[in-house]
Amino acid sequence: MSYTKVNADDVDPVSDGLRFLREPLECDRLGFSVLECEPGWEGMEHDHADEDHEEVHYLVEGSATVVVDGEEISMEPRDALRIAPDTTRRIRNGEAETTFVLAGAP
């Protein structure tokens, strides 16, 4: 089949509103996730060096801070942020709910 359609609400969240859509979409090379954050939520610091995946964080709604190698970057709706594979990142949510789309690939 040349396409796969999935509704994010039909995919069970794994932790704190993170829904991995890569497998349900049958993606071969692209990681694709939706992250819904409660007010004050903070993700864990991590990188994707082992997988050699760069990642793009796209903020759909709300406002948040992404800490990239210790630098705080403010995010507003429609902002997109590319992060290199070996760079650490952590999302810190603000006072309102936010929704991110996260895409990653080698």
- Token look-up 């993700």 returns 43
Is residue 1 scored above 70 in pLDDT? no
pLDDT reported for residue 28: 92
Smallest Cα–Cα separation from 88: which of 74, 98, 73? 73
Superfamily name with CATH number, domain 14-105: Jelly Rolls (2.60.120.10)
Contact 61, 91 (CB under 8 A): no
Q: Is 18 helix (H, G, I), strand (E, B) or coil?
A: strand
| pTM greater than 0.95 (yes/no) | no
The pLDDT tens digits for 41-88 are 999 999 999 999 999 999 999 999 999 999 999 999 999 999 999 999
Residue type, position 94, single letter: G
Mean pLDDT of the chain: 94
pLDDT reported for residue 88: 97
